[in-house]
Amino acid sequence: MKILVVYYSRSERTKQVADRIRQIFQCDIERIEDVESREGPSKFLKSTFESILGHNTEIKPSKIDPQGYDLVIIGTPVWAGTMSSPIFTYMKQNFLKFDQVAFFCTCGSNGAESTLKNMERLIRKEPVSTLSLTKKELKNNMNGKINNFISELKYELT
């Protein structure tokens, strides 16, 4: 089974989860990158508004074509209760190329459920499985939750 992990991460938390999933599956991985830096308070506001309003943002061209992968696992930080605008943009650009999908997100403390639901709505495709991790869970139980997610994926896909 060909698996691709695609993620965006502004402050490296979602990256930790993406790297662990990639390590377990020994699969390909793509990091979505901004064209412009998102550092600083004005960029925090811009990110919030882009997410709330569902605006596209400028992302660098991706290096891996998701077409031909049996499963694309997409990860995002939660921004204002929904997916980050770079992942919104990536999903809009590529949804026709996805076969099966799974989603994961990281957040401070809330907004994971709406984020995962909005990702599903955006591409009108039900994920095989989902995973969410709060800041606290990332610290205390990251591997446990990731392992459950992986087991569910393996179960659903075999």
Ligand X SMILES: Cc1cc2nc3c(=O)[nH]c(=O)nc-3n(C[C@H](O)[C@H](O)[C@H](O)COP(=O)(O)O)c2cc1C
Q: Which of 81, 94, 128, 137 binds ligand X (CB under 6 A)?
A: 81
- Report how far residue 119's alpha carbon sits from residue 88's, in angstroms, rounded to the nearest whole number: 8
Q: Which of 19, 20, 28, 48 binds ligand X (CB under 6 A)?
A: 48
- Report how far residue 14's alpha carbon sits from residue 32's, in angstroms, rounded to the nearest whole number: 12
Q: Taking CB under 6 A as the rule, does residue 106 contact ligand X?
A: yes
Instruction: Tokens for 83, please give them.
Output: 């997916």
- Report how far residue 144's alpha carbon sits from residue 131's, in angstroms, rounded to the nearest whole number: 11
Across 124-141, b (16+ Cβ under 10 Å) vs e yields ebebbbbbbbbeebbeee
Q: Taking CB under 6 A as the rule, does residue 25 contact ligand X?
A: no
Q: Which is nearer to ligand X, 1 or 52 (CB)?
A: 52
Q: Which is nearer to ligand X, 34 or 100 (CB)?
A: 34
Q: Which of 77, 86, 91, 127 binds ligand X (CB under 6 A)?
A: 77
Instruction: Count other Cβ atoms within 10 Å, centred on residue 26.
Output: 7
Q: Which of 54, 68, 108, 144 binds ligand X (CB under 6 A)?
A: 108
Shortest Å, Cβ 73 to ligand X: 15
- Report how far residue 111's alpha carbon sits from residue 134's, in angstroms, rounded to the nearest whole number: 10
Shortest Å, Cβ 67 to ligand X: 26
Q: Which is nearer to ligand X, 14 or 118 (CB)?
A: 14
Would you tell me which residues interact with ligand X (CB under 6 A)?
9-15, 44, 47-48, 77-81, 106-111
